[in-house]
Structure 1
Amino acid sequence: MKQFLSTCLTLTLAMFALVQNGVAQSPNVLDGAYVKETNLTKRVIPYPHLREADVMYKRRIWQEIDLRQKFNHPFYFPLDPIQDRQNLFDVVREALLVEGSLVAYSAGPLGDDDEFTFPLSPDSIRKILNPVTLVKEYDDFGEVIGTIQQSNELSSDKITRYRIK
């Protein structure tokens, strides 16, 4: 019995010494339920090769994402970017204007081109996202004396729907 107690005491002291030295708290300890990955470390899933002869038919579908619906709220919130979270509009705007990793296309001169044949320049994208309107300026008697250019920056809280091809 004395041998058993001394062995238990020795093991307890050894474990206490290991914890004090920091060996028990390894750098692989998980702080949360999962390991958070960034987009840079995620792997893109490759699509399998598709031959034209294998296609039986094709159909073009336009999908509308309504951000007011509850299950689409992750695309809408947060309205102001915080730490590592942004809404979809801020991500797309940054990819178009800052990174240049996305290409925006015009709907054509008549607004009916859905083939994405007219790429937009960054300057024209800025004009679309920051439209300038002319506001009439009145004097004390209510007469128009001129116009003022007013910039209306498009913010993410005004975007409520996306149409995706």
Structure 2
Amino acid sequence: MNLKSLSLIVMFSLFSIGSFAQANLLNAKSASEIGQKSLLDILITSDGPIPYGHINDNDVLFGIMVWENISLSEKANESYYFPIDEVEGNDQKSLFQVLLDGVKSGAITEVYDSSEFTNQRMLKDIESSFVKVDTTDIGIEYANAGEAIPAEYIDRTELRPSDVTDYRIKGLWYFDRNEGQLKYRLLGIAPVVVDIYTKGTAHENHVELFWIFFADARNVLYQNYAFNPKNPMNPINFDHLLNSRRFSATIYKADNQFGDRRIDDYIQGNDLQKLFEGERIRELIRNLEDDMWKY
């Protein structure tokens, strides 16, 4: 047996052990124990996400801020979209539901109206963005008569995971001179959803629901797992999924001589050229690392 074969066997063995331990399927003595976490899993989860290392500003030789769009219509991004419906006995949620539940519970507080992270918003400020309550004509008659409005005459509309079309992320590519390599730090994330006030109409509009400062959401994302289509027995937590850049994204804005002007502000009416411009920026970032080693 050669070294390569031995390495593969060890890798798959460790992979399988970790996979089955999470579900507790093979160790359960009764059906009620299926899905219960082992003590080892509980201890691992309690440690929280791997903390970011401290970076001194003087150690950053260059950096470029980049905004990207993650389209949920792409197959590579399915893990961020599903499941769109809650399934009994399954704790997995879509990324949108994870973020929304975190905001509602107060576990995520760094919520802003834009990627500049200057105007922080409270739950009461943004609740109308994902919940709409309407009163029917009959309900209005009850109100005008000074009577309590029966529940059947109140229409409550809430955004669902299926209403999310994209995610927008903001991050910094930078060259760390201590480690001599190009690195990426994710700074913010925003779900793009159907505007609840145009939902169901002929002219649905899509808006950024809110921007979350990513570091504040890491604990919540670490505790929730995405479906892994390659191995359903081994789900991946959202913190690892996003930090390892396991998604397909297109650049729609980056630092440039115009500040941080969007690509569609200076390239209009040509989607292919916009795509090429995003790839040009991506190639520029790659070349910056190569240039560091030439001088």
Q: State the TM-score bracket (shorter-chain normalisation).
A: 0.5 to 0.7
Give 1:69 shift.
1.0
User: Is the counterpart of residue 160 in structure 1 residue 161 in structure 2?
Assistant: no
* More divergent stretch after superposition (149-158 vs 53-62): 149-158
Amino acid at match of 2:110: V
Amino acid at match of 1:58: G
Asked whether the 8 Å contact 1:81–1:87 carries over to 2, the reply is no
Give 1:134 shift.
9.3
Which structure has greater strand proportion? 2
User: Is the counterpart of residue 89 in structure 1 residue 96 in structure 2?
Assistant: yes
1:87 and 1:40 map into 2 onto residues whose CA distance is: 19
Which structure has greater helix proportion? 2
- Specify which of 13, 21, 46 is matched with residue 35 of structure 1: 21
- Runs of 5+ in structure 1 lacking a partner? 1-29, 108-113, 137-148
Give 1:103 shift.
2.2
Give 1:57 shift.
1.5
Give 1:150 shift.
5.6
- Specify which of 104, 118, 123 is matched with residue 111 of structure 2: 104
Distance verdict in 2 for CA 1:62–1:34, change over 3 Å: same
- Specify which of 63, 84, 87 is matched with residue 79 of structure 1: 84
Counting aligned pairs with the same residue, the percent is: 28
Secondary structure, aligned partner of 1:40: helix
Structure with max Cα Rg? 1
2:57 and 2:72 map into 1 onto residues whose CA distance is: 36
2:18 and 2:113 map into 1 onto residues whose CA distance is: 44
2:84 and 2:165 map into 1 onto residues whose CA distance is: 12
User: Is the counterpart of residue 48 in structure 1 residue 50 in structure 2?
Assistant: no
Secondary structure, aligned partner of 2:62: coil
Give 1:49 shift.
2.1
Distance verdict in 2 for CA 1:41–1:35, change over 3 Å: farther
Give 1:51 shift.
0.9
Distance verdict in 2 for CA 1:65–1:42, change over 3 Å: farther
Secondary structure, aligned partner of 1:120: coil
Amino acid at match of 2:113: S
2:134 and 2:109 map into 1 onto residues whose CA distance is: 27
Give 1:47 shift.
2.3
Asked whether the 8 Å contact 1:105–1:117 carries over to 2, the reply is yes
Amino acid at match of 2:76: F
Give 1:163 shift.
0.5
- RMSD of aligned residue pairs (Cα, Å): 3.0
Amino acid at match of 2:117: F
Amino acid at match of 1:106: D
- Runs of 5+ in structure 2 lacking a partner? 1-15, 23-40, 138-153, 171-295
With the length of structure 2 as denominator, give the TM-score of the two structures. Answer: 0.35
Distance verdict in 2 for CA 1:162–1:40, change over 3 Å: same
1:62 and 1:134 map into 2 onto residues whose CA distance is: 40
Distance verdict in 2 for CA 1:80–1:99, change over 3 Å: farther
Distance verdict in 2 for CA 1:32–1:133, change over 3 Å: same
Asked whether the 8 Å contact 1:65–1:163 carries over to 2, the reply is yes
Amino acid at match of 1:40: T
* More divergent stretch after superposition (39-48 vs 69-78): 39-48
Distance verdict in 2 for CA 1:33–1:105, change over 3 Å: closer
The one-character-per-residue Cα deviations of 1:6-42 (angstroms, maximum 9, x if unpaired) are xxxxxxxxxxxxxxxxxxxxxxxx9994321478346
